[in-house]
Homo-oligomer: A and B are copies of this chain.
Amino acid sequence: MAPIDNVLSRADENLPASLERLFELVRIKSISTDPAFKADCRKAAEYLVTVLTGLGFEASVRDTSGHPMVVAHHEGEKADSPHVLFYGHYDVQPVDPIELWETDPFEPSIKEDEKGRKIITGRGTSDDKGQLLTFVEAVRAYKDVKGALPVRVTILFEGEEESGSPSLKPFLEANKAELKADFALVCDTSMWDAETPAISAGLRGLVGEEIVVKAASRDLHSGYYGGAAANPIHILSNILDGLHDETGAVTLPGFYDGVEETPADIKAKWEELGRTGEDFLGSIGLSIPSGEKGRSILELTWARPTAEVNGIIGGYTGGGFKTVIAAQASAKISFRLVGKQDPAKIRESFRAYVKSRIPADCSVEFHEHGGSPAIQLPYDSPLLNKAREALSQEWPKPALMIGMGGSIPIVGDFQSMLGMQSLLAGFALADDRIHSPNEKYNLESYRKGIRSWIRIMAALAA
């Protein structure tokens, strides 16, 4: 294949239209956790099928018991071109608290931030609609210029990533032959900083649990019953507070089974990056690392497991005061896993722990919200090395191999079910406010993200 300079130029020329397509996708309110937006999720899938069909893919919306998948296929230039499976998700997080958004989350716009950088505003611009389109638009530029692709491409877009991906495993299982490729490309991660791309070699796993502690059969007057009737908020506080000891370690029996210390040389590289608590937390108004004592920020977020309460509610939460003892109180808790921690065993240990703290006349309900093990790829794989070089050509600074705090369950499933390794490269930034009000994606992330995939596709075929 000829040099790719003209493909890169074409991507830049296409940018205004590429943005228009991103805007169209962001306008679709594909919130997967809220049943009210079921039809919007399907609409997003259908929109992507239309876009991919227009690029010469054989693309279709594929039903699941939840939100649909998008699957698409495109031949490579040669019969023996490498075959990649590109994965992204078209669903987005809820937008509450809506009053904190400065712009409509579903009416994207280009604004300038306080540093003078152009940003694309809206829910999903960074996670993951903007990111998945970087690949689609890279394909477009290639097709426009060359009429062909250097790699054979299968695309899988799901619509349940933000709600624990319940349909994903059954879908992979039922469509193994169709989805198997040489390796997967996943674009749902961040750069090290705005100048430095990063490839994630390690990802934390996730266990999500919701517990509902039930005491009296109805809400009670706290004067009449206070001091005698069980208060589910007290029980819940006791459970949640007991999850960590005074060193910040998680107390569940067996929790650290399968957790290994990060190798000294990797730790040393991370320490060279010199990231302090102030660096990492300063932009969000904090300064003191809160987790396990005696660990660096990068260890805490890349290589150590956590237990976090993501939501809690019980009793009277409106304006003013209501002297009530609630009938029930609930919390959503997630565990981030590393190394070989077993999601099923951790869920079991958590549930046993919770039950042990429920008084005999009260009860607890558990609701499962997804579970996936951590992933650790070999740092010396040829796939990672080719991608690292390609990225280093596009961006001001060379690409880093890093760990990742978040969980992308699909990567574990690709490994265990389809025998594929995944290349995790993404162009989001720490300040993109994903899952929060005022999510954005830098225009430069979008532009150079598209160009990055052009370079990576070329490198993989070389």
Contact = CB atoms under 8 A, between A and B. Distances in A.
Interface stretch (A45-53, A226-234, A440-448): A226-234
Contacts of A164: 320-321
A335 to B, nearest CB: 9
A334 interface: yes
Given A321-B164, A321-B332, A204 B223 contact: yes
A343 interface: no
Given A311-B315, A322-B435, A277 B219 contact: no
Given A219-B435, A223-B406, A291-B227, A312 B241 contact: no
B306 A226 contact: yes
Given A93-B322, A226-B301, A288-B360, 19 more contacts: A94-B318, A204-B223, A210-B321, A215-B286, A218-B284, A221-B406, A222-B306, A226-B405, A227-B308, A227-B405, A228-B280, A231-B309, A233-B312, A234-B308, A237-B241, A237-B312, A240-B241, A310-B323, A312-B314
A217 B284 contact: yes
A30 to B, nearest CB: 14
Contact of A206 (B323, B324, B325): B323
Interface string A185-206: 0000010000000000000101
Contact of A301 (B228, B238, B316, B361): B228
A336 interface: yes
B320 A436 contact: no
A237 B313 CA distance: 12
| 8 interchain residue pairs of minimum CB distance | A223-B406, A33-B320, A217-B285, A311-B315, A241-B241, A237-B240, A321-B369, A227-B291
A322 B313 CA distance: 14
Contact of A240 (B233, B244, B326): B233
A34 interface: yes
A190 B93 contact: no
B334 A222 contact: yes
A414 B409 CA distance: 65
Contacts of A241: 234, 237-238, 240-242
A284 B34 CA distance: 33
A376 to B, nearest CB: 16
Contacts of A370: 321
Contacts of A321: 33, 163-164, 208, 210, 310, 332, 334, 369-370
Given A228-B300, A304-B227, A435-B323, A312 B315 contact: yes
Contacts of A310: 222, 233, 315-316, 321-326
Interface in A268-317: 277, 280-281, 284-292, 297, 300-301, 304-306, 308-317
- Interface size class of chain A, counting residues whose CB lies under 8 Å from the partner chain: 35 or more
18 contacts: A32-B320, A33-B322, A208-B321, A218-B437, A224-B406, A224-B434, A225-B284, A225-B405, A227-B336, A227-B405, A233-B311, A233-B312, A236-B237, A310-B322, A311-B315, A312-B312, A313-B313, A317-B332
A45 to B, nearest CB: 19
A156 interface: no
A324 B217 contact: no
A325 B34 CA distance: 19
A407 interface: yes
Nearest to A33: B320
A319 B35 contact: yes
B436 A220 contact: yes
B33 A319 contact: yes
A387 interface: no
A286 B213 CA distance: 13
Most chain-B CB neighbours within 10 Å: which of A242, A311, A324? A311
Contacts of A110: none
A430 interface: yes
A329 to B, nearest CB: 7
Most chain-B CB neighbours within 10 Å: which of A219, A287, A310, A361? A310
A305 B228 CA distance: 11
B34 A319 contact: yes
A440 to B, nearest CB: 12
Interface in A354-384: 359-362, 369-370
